């Protein structure tokens, strides 16, 4: 009872806790990441591999169309002395023509192919894409200080996110110019989601609040396609089959599926491992579709109480035992590791793991580890100085 009364009466501790609580939203609004955060998230994902995921899409709901070996040369000049190697747009046009003819049975097409060079085949490609209507999404890119839209005018969204140490970790909903990124654009198209965003959090209409960046899970990985859990087929192979048996191939491989088109060998580093771009983007959409970005009210209350508890341990001096671990190395003077300094970090990392595994909320708390570690270190130095002056 005494602790309950203390909880509601300590304005100072609530002020500290609230500052740390808000700082977590601010940290999650920034694109920056930290090595320890990504390492923890990686091991959480490894543990997830051992747990059956009932939210994983059905095996017959996704197909990856690999364009890595379906390319041709486009001359840069009249004598063809220089050429660009691009994805075969004739094949893409043939594929999209069939999808257009069966538009009502097409679920969604994500085409992770940059159309940044004009070709003689563009008119046929544009015509074929127009028949798929709002179920097609291409990609744009940031280049030369701005957002470069694809040159064929296809329906598209930006696929670029901020990379620290070239690793995909936090994924925002909007780009640097207020443009919707691919995962959120898919969420708008397929789930009719609407949001309002401010500097602190994002409000999903009818669902709740979320951080401004999401750290998505990877229930679908490239290994799922190589071990044939999901279908992966080459663009040329698919088009050849469609020419011979259009109805059969369409019903087997394309009907009512998410069609991911991209280069399976063009890998990007994530906190888990290397993944092709379309798989990263689709997992980010899947995270939104499953509402795993939403922060339930009871979870926010639990997180606040957890922060208050750590602040209370600090302020009330409950960590009154100083644990020391003597370390002796050959040729060096013995020195002592103060285990108490690592105490709060251990609690914060434990909460991060439980948050992800039990509550499906992925968050980055490196800033909290830094704050409490600095406080502990300063307190240790200060106490040591006092003892030295006595």
Q: What does the pLDDT read at residue 371?
A: 81
Share of the chain above pLDDT 90, in %: 57
Q: Taking a C-beta distance cutoff of 8 angstroms, is the pair 265, 68 a contact?
A: yes
3-state secondary structure of 277: helix
State pLDDT tens for residues 141-176: 887 777 888 989 999 999 988 888 889 999 999 988
Q: Which residue has the higher pLDDT, 199 or 81?
A: 199
Q: What does the pLDDT read at residue 331?
A: 47
d(CA 84, CA 312): 63
The residue whose two tokens read 């669902």 is: 207
Q: How much of the chain is helix, strand and coil, in % rounded to 5?
A: 45, 20, 35
Q: What does the pLDDT read at residue 176?
A: 84
Q: What does the pLDDT read at residue 369?
A: 82
**How far does Cα 72 stand from its chain's mean position?**
32
Residue 264: both structure tokens together: 């399976």
d(CA 151, CA 143): 14
**How far does Cα 109 stand from its chain's mean position?**
20
Q: Give me the mean pLDDT over the 331-346 stretch.
A: 57
Band of residue 66 on the pLDDT scale cut at 50, 70, 90 = very high
How do beta strands 156-158 and 136-143 pair?
parallel
Is residue 335 scored above 50 in pLDDT?
no
Give the burial class of 167: count Cβ atoms within 10 A of its Cβ; 0-12 exposed, 13-18 middle, 19 or more buried.
middle
Please tell me what DSSP assigns to residue 180: B
Is residue 39 scored above 60 in pLDDT?
yes
Phi and psi at residue 154, to the nearest 5°? -75, 155
d(CA 134, CA 189): 7
How do beta strands 195-197 and 274-276 pair?
unpaired
Q: What does the pLDDT read at residue 222?
A: 94
Identify the CA nearest to 293 among candidates 198, 215, 351, 353: 215
Mean pLDDT of the chain: 86
Is residue 316 scored above 80 in pLDDT?
no
Phi and psi at residue 370, to the nearest 5°? -65, -45
Residue 314: both structure tokens together: 């600090």
Ranked by mean pLDDT, the top range of 45-49, 259-263, 352-356 is 259-263
The residue whose two tokens read 């997830």 is: 48
Please tell me what DSSP assigns to residue 339: G
Give the burial class of 374: count Cβ atoms within 10 A of its Cβ; 0-12 exposed, 13-18 middle, 19 or more buried.
exposed
Please tell me what DSSP assigns to residue 316: T
For CA atoms 166, 171, 174, 180, the dihedral sign is positive
Identify the CA nearest to 362 among candidates 295, 276, 264: 295
pTM for the complete prediction? Answer: 0.89
Element (H, E) at 325: strand 324-327
Q: Give me the mean pLDDT over the 280-301 stretch.
A: 95
For the chain, count helices (H), then strands (E).
Answer: 13, 18
Start-end of H helices in 112-192: 122-130, 182-191
* Spans of all domains in the chain: 2-46+296-389, 57-289
Residue 184: both structure tokens together: 């959120």
d(CA 71, CA 248): 25
Q: What does the pLDDT read at residue 323?
A: 45
Q: What does the pLDDT read at residue 336?
A: 47
Give the burial class of 276: count Cβ atoms within 10 A of its Cβ; 0-12 exposed, 13-18 middle, 19 or more buried.
buried
Band of residue 206 on the pLDDT scale cut at 50, 70, 90 = very high
Q: How far apart are the first and last CA of the chain?
A: 39
Identify the CA nearest to 66 among candidates 261, 227, 220: 261
Q: What does the pLDDT read at residue 322?
A: 45
Q: Give me the mean pLDDT over the 244-271 stretch.
A: 94
State pLDDT tens for residues 68-97: 999 998 887 766 667 888 999 999 999 999
Identify the CA nearest to 58 among candidates 313, 286, 262, 322: 286
Q: Which residue has the higher pLDDT, 323 or 93?
A: 93
């Amino acid at each position: 009872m005494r602790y309950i009364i203390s909880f509601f009466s300590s304005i100072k501790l609530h002020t500290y806790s609230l500052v740390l609580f808000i700082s977590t939203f601010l940290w999650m609004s920034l694109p920056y990441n930290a090595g320890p955060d990504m390492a923890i998230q990686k091991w959480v994902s490894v543990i997830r591999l051992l747990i059956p995921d009932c939210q994983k899409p059905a095996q017959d709901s996704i197909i990856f169309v690999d364009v890595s070996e379906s390319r041709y040369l486009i001359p840069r000049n009249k004598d063809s002395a220089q050429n660009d190697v691009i994805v075969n747009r004739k094949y893409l046009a043939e594929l999209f023509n069939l999808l257009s003819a069966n538009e009502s049975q097409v679920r969604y097409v994500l085409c992770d192919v940059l159309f940044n060079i004009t070709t003689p085949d563009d008119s046929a490609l544009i015509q074929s894409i127009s028949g798929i209507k709002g179920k097609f999404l291409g990609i744009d890119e940031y280049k030369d200080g701005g957002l470069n839209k694809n040159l064929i005018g296809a329906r598209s969204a930006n696929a670029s996110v901020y990379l620290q140490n070239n690793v995909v970790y936090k994924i925002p909903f909007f780009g640097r110019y207020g443009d919707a990124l691919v995962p959120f654009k898919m969420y708008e198209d397929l789930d009719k989601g609407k949001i309002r965003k401010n500097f602190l959090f994002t409000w999903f209409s009818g669902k709740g609040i979320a951080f401004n960046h999401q750290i998505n899970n990877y229930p679908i990985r490239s290994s799922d396609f190589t071990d044939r859990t999901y279908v992966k087929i080459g663009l040329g192979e698919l088009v050849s089959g469609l020419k011979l048996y259009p109805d059969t191939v369409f019903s087997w491989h394309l009907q009512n599926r998410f069609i991911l088109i991209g280069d399976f060998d063009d890998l990007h580093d994530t906190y888990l491992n290397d993944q092709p771009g379309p798989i990263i983007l689709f997992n980010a959409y899947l995270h939104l579709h499953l509402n795993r970005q939403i922060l339930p009210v009871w979870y926010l209350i639990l997180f606040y109480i957890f922060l208050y508890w750590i602040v209370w341990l600090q302020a009330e001096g409950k960590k009154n035992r100083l644990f020391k671990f003597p370390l002796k190395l050959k040729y060096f003077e013995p020195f002592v590791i103060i285990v108490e300094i690592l105490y709060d970090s251990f609690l914060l990392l434990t909460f991060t793991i439980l948050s992800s595994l039990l509550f499906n909320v992925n968050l980055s708390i490196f800033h909290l580890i830094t704050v409490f570690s600095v406080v502990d270190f300063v307190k240790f130095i200060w106490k040591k100085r006092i003892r030295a002056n006595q």
